[in-house]
Structure 1
Amino acid sequence: MEVVESYKLGSIEVTVSKTDKSNKLKVECTDGDFRSEFTVSPYEFENYRRLMNRKITDAFKDQ
């Protein structure tokens, strides 16, 4: 899949890539020990990115 964006949230590496469906993006997160994957719409990624990043950070903090 084509990578749309890749960035780090502290020790968490986040990769956003296209999926087979044009209305969904796949978000993959890893900190080396734990891995999480979920899908979002392009609208959610553009408009709710800060909330998404906070939820990713909180989820990995609990691990």
Structure 2
Amino acid sequence: MGRGRAKAKQIKVARKLKYYSPDTDLNRLQQELGADASKSGPSDPYDDEPDYSDYADKYNVDDDDEDED
């Protein structure tokens, strides 16, 4: 017993956190995160990946063709 006041306080704090929307300074956040505004990310996320199509052509062996003798 006696948990009513503590529970009410927790509910009050939870509601305040849920519905409170502070003014966010996005420029300041960008500075804190160290983001460079002039640098944009790569246009294609797979630019850093090697091209495996050469290997696919070189090593692509169809197992069904070898067994049809």
Name the TM-score class by shorter chain. Answer: under 0.3
Q: Identify which of structures 1 and 2 has the higher relative contact order when contacts are C-alpha pairs closer than 8 Å and 6+ apart.
A: 1
TM-score, L = length of structure 2: 0.18
Q: Identify, as 1 or 2, the structure richer in helix.
A: 2
Greater Rg over alpha carbons, structure: 2
TM-score, L = length of structure 1: 0.19
